[in-house]
A and B are shown apart, each in its own frame.
Chain A
Amino acid sequence: MLQPGIMDLAKYPFLTEAGEYLRDKGFNLEQLGHPDWTPLVEKAYGRIVVASSGQVYGSDMEMLENPDMEILSFIVAVILLKASGIPTLARRFSLAEARRAEKYLQQDLWSNKDRKNLELPLKIIQELFGVQVIVENDEFVIKVADYLQRAIHFHEKEWKLVNRRVKNGLVYLTSHETVRLIRTELGQYINSKIQSITLPPIPDTFKARVQDLVSLASRFSDVVVVSTDYPPCVKHAMEVLERGENLPHSGRFLLATYLLARGQTTDQIAPLFKNAPDYNERVTKYQLEHISGSSGRGTKYQCPSCDKLRSENLCFAIPDCDGIINPIQFGKKRGRTNA
């Protein structure tokens, strides 16, 4: 059983104990609907807006004067998100909150080497995600199988098991790597919390902000509709972006080169990346122009082969992919056989 203190709950407001704490203190939704609490609703709304732009909402714990507000604003944000019913916003918020918590987890692991308070971050990792972390000297140690189940989602070579220190069935990690490993799951955990709450009748003061969230989300809706003509790898890349999740560089490169080869312009393609957590209009435009050959040395980059995509875990072949060696051939070949 976790027994976090109030500062811990401010850092990790998604813990079940945060809700219990507020209940014990006598907060209820009706009360929070009072105009006196408008700053709280604004804080909660701000927390979502920051997340939707791909940033991490920062609470400076040192300066924190009111941990209750930290906990409450998270809970109110969850209620606003649930009321708006927009999955993309909820996913972005979850990912951003996961990254926020990741920062604190790392700090807690790092600063508590004297083991005074190491129990909480380790317990969060163990109880929420079933990963047992042992501390050995300055390192954090987890089982190879636990590591593999998470590390395969990263595409950088440093995460391959062969590039890790492995001994007796255990993988040795830094505090940063340990928490990075569970970021996705933490995001999913927060998202599942949002999905699972039953929405109580919400106060009127919340309603305007729920409407604002709906209009905020509309700027994510101008993504290209996924056509059935796209090969599964491209569809996957589009879906990941649409969900506001992080698509690795190789996936973005696939998407850009594929669509360019299909005759789309960089202006048509750029909006697709709007949902990326690290979206930057200027950088996206620069990259697309570079890939298309209209800037830089003028080299027009080709769509990567199926082989290459397979090795990057970006291939999601379906029977219609049979016989093709590059995503560009998808559909064309099928058209010929049908003719």
Chain B
Amino acid sequence: MLEKDSVLVEGAIKEYYFNHFDLINIPANLVQREFGYQKINGGMIRHIAIKDSKELHLLLMKETPSDVYCSNAYYSFPNLPMSEKDWQGADLIFDIDAKDLALPCRNDHSISICGACRGIAAGKQTTCTSCGSAKSETVSVTCKICISESKKQVKKLMRILADDLGIKNEQVQVYFSGNEGFHIRVTNKDYEVLGSQERADLVDYVMFNGAVPETFGIKRQNIKSALPEIGESGWRGRVAASLFGAKSKAPKISRQIILDGYAAFQARLDGMRQTIGARVDPKVTMDIHRIFRLEGSVNSKSGLSKIQCKNLDDFDPFLDACLLGEEQVDIVANYPVVIKLKNKKYGPYANERISVPKYAAVYMICKGLASAV
């Protein structure tokens, strides 16, 4: 990021931590957590222990980090190297990101920025339309469809957590990630002790990975096959609902499935992962030493904040998480799509000098679509 851009962004972030420190969620067992942060154009600094909220506030004000992270794990010695930290447990975390959902709208709000000539083009391009360079970076901007689809995944996950895994709603906190998805944190004593391999199997469960036909009554030998019924609990019930739709259709569809055989049913199950499984990023859940974006902090990919969604249905990240300053700043913007923040549309712009609220300026700069003047 250019010097003048980083001055603007850092200033906005500093102001945010000064005015909105109350939005930072001080995690339980604060002293046992590992903190880390990044500064604009800087590397990751981690293995930091924080003793109280004052010290955290001081760090945010003094360093003005572009991104702040806190471990989902708790350690006896969070500031020591990883092998000496003495892992005690970790919250169960899930990451749902719109970019992993392969939605058809994706190309409409993606912009390619050439790494060589900084040329901008709409959609995901493999080569630069101006200079032909193959080095390009794709950024994605505000999209309501992406958010709405991500919310559906969150709801699917929450139902599995509650109905199957016995995790109460009050033990689950949902956060907007600050860019294009949601982070879910579970605080439940039974699950916090699980290691990485156990979490890998748990994430396969919520994603509906690795299911075999036998679980649903279909055997290789095709004898005594009996499919689950609508209304059964867990995956058997969900598979039945997905296969039959309505109870009345069950006998006819059942006969066909049994006739199609084992391999065909395995293929059906594999296909169902996309529709009935919760599409989370498995790497995040499996990682028991991860430092996860701090709740309430600013995400430098967008300038939006990672904030809690108390009411998921009504939550609009491009309004509710847009918390940087409102005063007008001048920038030069260059992008071919419309960005909508706080119910106001910005763009498209062709290298135009514009005056916009600070939150919008930071959003565009963070996405690489504008520059301070």
Please report A residues at the B interface, Cβ cutoff 8 Å: 143-145, 148-149, 151-152, 157-158, 160-170, 313
What total of A-B pairs shows CB separation below 8 Å?
75
A152 touching B214 by the CB < 8 A rule? no
Encoded as 1 (CB less than 8 Å from any A CB) or 0, chain B from 310 to 341 comes to 00000000000000000000000000000000
B165 touching A157 by the CB < 8 A rule? no
Of A143, A151, A165, the contact of B234 (CB 8 Å cutoff): A165
A163 to B213 Cα, complex, angstroms: 9
Does chain A have a CB within 8 A of B209?
yes
Does chain A have a CB within 8 A of B197?
yes
Given contact pairs A145-B194, A169-B190, A163 touches B210 in the complex (Cβ within 8 A): yes
A164 to B215 Cα, complex, angstroms: 7
A152 touching B201 by the CB < 8 A rule? yes
Chain B residue with minimal CB distance to A146? Answer: B190
* Minimum distance in angstroms from A153 CB to a CB of chain B: 9
Q: Which residues of B contact A168 (CB under 8 A)?
A: 163-164, 166
Q: Which residues of A contact B257 (CB under 8 A)?
A: none
Does chain A have a CB within 8 A of B267?
no
Bin the interface of chain B by size.
20 to 34
A167 touching B198 by the CB < 8 A rule? no
Please report B residues at the A interface, Cβ cutoff 8 Å: 163-167, 190-191, 193-195, 197-198, 200-202, 204-205, 208-212, 214-215, 233-236
Given contact pairs A162-B208, A166-B165, A145 touches B197 in the complex (Cβ within 8 A): no
Chain A residue with minimal CB distance to B215? Answer: A163
B210 touching A144 by the CB < 8 A rule? no
A169 to B214 Cα, complex, angstroms: 22
Of A144, A161, A165, the contact of B204 (CB 8 Å cutoff): A161
Q: Which residues of B contact A158 (CB under 8 A)?
A: 212, 214-215
B204 touching A167 by the CB < 8 A rule? no
A152 touching B215 by the CB < 8 A rule? no
A168 to B163 Cα, complex, angstroms: 5
Given contact pairs A148-B201, A149-B194, A152-B201, A163 touches B234 in the complex (Cβ within 8 A): no
B165 touching A169 by the CB < 8 A rule? yes
Given contact pairs A162-B209, A163-B210, A169-B167, A145 touches B193 in the complex (Cβ within 8 A): yes
Q: Which residues of A contact B215 (CB under 8 A)?
A: 158, 162-164
* Minimum distance in angstroms from B199 CB to a CB of chain A: 8
Chain B residue with minimal CB distance to A144? Answer: B165
B164 touching A167 by the CB < 8 A rule? yes
Given contact pairs A166-B234, A167-B163, A157 touches B197 in the complex (Cβ within 8 A): no
* Minimum distance in angstroms from B25 CB to a CB of chain A: 25
Of A157, A161, A169, A313, the contact of B205 (CB 8 Å cutoff): A161
* Minimum distance in angstroms from B88 CB to a CB of chain A: 15
A163 touching B164 by the CB < 8 A rule? no
Q: Which residues of A contact B193 (CB under 8 A)?
A: 145, 149
Q: Which residues of A contact B214 (CB under 8 A)?
A: 158, 163
* Minimum distance in angstroms from B287 CB to a CB of chain A: 15
Q: Which residues of A contact B167 (CB under 8 A)?
A: 169
Query: Which 3 pairs of residues, A with B, have the shortest CB-CB distance?
Result: A169-B166, A148-B198, A163-B215
A148 to B196 Cα, complex, angstroms: 11
A143 touching B201 by the CB < 8 A rule? no
A145 to B205 Cα, complex, angstroms: 13
B190 touching A160 by the CB < 8 A rule? no
Q: List 16 A-B contacts (CB under 8 A).
A: A145-B198, A148-B202, A149-B194, A152-B197, A152-B201, A158-B214, A162-B205, A162-B210, A163-B211, A165-B236, A166-B164, A166-B205, A166-B235, A167-B163, A167-B233, A170-B166
Of B164, B194, B204, B236, the contact of A160 (CB 8 Å cutoff): B204
Inter-chain pairs besides A162-B210, A163-B210, 6 sampled, C-beta below 8 Å: A144-B166, A145-B193, A160-B204, A166-B235, A169-B166, A170-B166
